[in-house]
Amino acid sequence: MSIITPYIDNLTRLQKEIPEIAKKIITENAPNILYMIKYEQLGLGTDYLGNDIGNNKYAASTQDYWAKQDPKPRKHKVAGSHYNMEWSGTFFDGLGIKVEDDGFNIFSKNGKKEFLENIYKTKLTIFTKENNDKINNLILLPNLYQHILKNLLRVKR
């Protein structure tokens, strides 16, 4: 047995662990990821392509109309501002993350996602390229590197 064989075996083991470690990282960082989709994308009125949701802005009548429906909005719909996708909070509160073998999906526990995507004719819970890059570069990769470096020299002799 070569002196480097245990290290090569360890690298092989680490390579096999990466998909499960990635899932764990996403699960542990779900609150941060959900915050990003809610407040750094949807709350700014941006869809997954980086376009304005609905290609429009709130009309003056929107505030009055919805105030009659739900008079205590979490976030007002101010005339001239971009759609912020939040009034009562049920859409944002109903978002969750499902981690799968090939990544993760953001879903709506209450059906609001599908309802709103049908109205606005765009995907609402897919990240823009910029936000996807943030997740990869600020959450996923640093944590994967940390795991790999922490375990790189842990070999069985």
Cα 46 to Cα 145: distance, rounded to the nearest angstrom = 31
Q: Which residues contact 125 (CB under 8 A, 6 or more apart)?
A: 37, 95, 105, 106, 107, 108, 113
Q: Where are the domains of the chain?
A: 5-151
Residue 52 has which token pair?
A: 């304005």
Sequential DSSP letters for the chain: --TTHHHHHHHHHHHHHHHHHHHHHHHHTHHHHHHHHHHTTGGGTB-TTSPBGGGSB--HHHHHHHHHH-SS-SS---TTSBP-S-SSSHHHHTEEEEEETTEEEEEETTSHHHHHHHHHTS-SSS--HHHHHHIIIIIIHHHHHHHHHHHTT----
Return per-residue pLDDT of the chain as tens, 157 residues.
Answer: 688 888 888 899 999 999 999 999 999 999 999 999 999 999 999 999 999 998 777 777 776 676 676 666 677 777 788 888 887 889 999 999 999 998 999 999 999 999 999 999 999 999 999 999 999 999 999 999 999 999 888 877 6
